[in-house]
Amino acid sequence: MGSRMRLGLAQMDMVHRDKAGNLAACRQMIGQAAEEKVDLLLFPELTLTGFSSHIAEDGEALDHSQTLDFFSREAAAHHMAMGFGMIVFPSAQAEKGENHCVLLGREGQLLADYAKIHPFSFGAEGRFYTGGTDWASCQLDDFTIAPFVCYDLRFPEIFRVHCRQVQLMTVIANWPSTRMEHWYLLLRARALENQCYVAGVNRWGQEGKLSYIGGSTVVAPDGTILVQDESGPGLVTCDIERETVDKTRKALPFLPDRQPEIYAHLFAQEADEQA
């Protein structure tokens, strides 16, 4: 614990809408991660359901969530922080769900709850899910962490928000095998441009016509790939150090040269033009 953190990426072969089966797979991953002394265990997007369009059956209210209760109990039992994905109803009247990444602390407490800002319109995600409107972050040991979800990876703007305060960005995903080169390139780009660690956990297996080959990856603040795995379902681990982020930013201090006020002005102009 402290300035060094061991990440665990649970590269699962998820079964579509089989919560019981996926819960069993999660328990196995958690047990292995505990044996390997993982500090933060990350699961893929929509961990217990895969991509589901059955929002009414598979969605949950966060304050009455069986999924949240399960991971909270497991986190506390193993004194291990966890991040996972789930379908959340933003309100009792909502017709669409939200695609969330939830981060829990070592005692099972809620650290961060992030709603995916960018539904994947090309894959019709927007028909069933509404996008979130806010960024999230939390503190775990010496790391400030910002969670993101899958398609968000293609939008560098949201990764830049408060990038100087963040040492680790996490991306939970269901990223198909046909676009893996994009996945690897974008993970490295987000790490390099923000001078922080980026950890991407992707699923394995087949869902409908789409295949997934994992490729769960951790990238260092200088863009170096520390670990990358396409070998099959399983736990991928990697140790990261807070000092590496600090040293990288000190050696090449370009983040202070950002001009957020100017960017905000330009984005406001773009918004006005599109209105």
152: enclosing H helix or E strand: none
Per-residue pLDDT tens over the stretch 210-257:
999 999 999 999 999 999 999 999 999 999 999 999 999 999 999 999
| Residue stretches of the chain with pLDDT short of 70 | 1-2
Residue spans per domain, the chain:
4-274
pLDDT score of 2: 59
Q: Name the residue type at position 224.
A: T
**Cα-Cα-Cα-Cα dihedral sign, residues 266, 157, 243, 248:** negative
Q: In angstroms, rounded to a whole number, what is the distance separating the alpha carbons of residues 50 and 179?
A: 18
Q: In angstroms, rounded to a whole number, what is the distance separating the alpha carbons of residues 249 and 29?
A: 34
pLDDT score of 65: 93
Q: DSSP assignment, residue 137?
A: -
Backbone φ, ψ for residue 262 (5° rounding):
-65, -45
Helices (H), the chain: 19-35, 55-58, 66-78, 156-160, 180-194, 242-251, 260-274
Q: Are 116 and 99 in contact (CB under 8 A)?
A: yes
> For the whole model, what pTM was predicted?
0.96
The domain 4-274: what is its CATH number?
3.60.110.10
pLDDT score of 70: 98
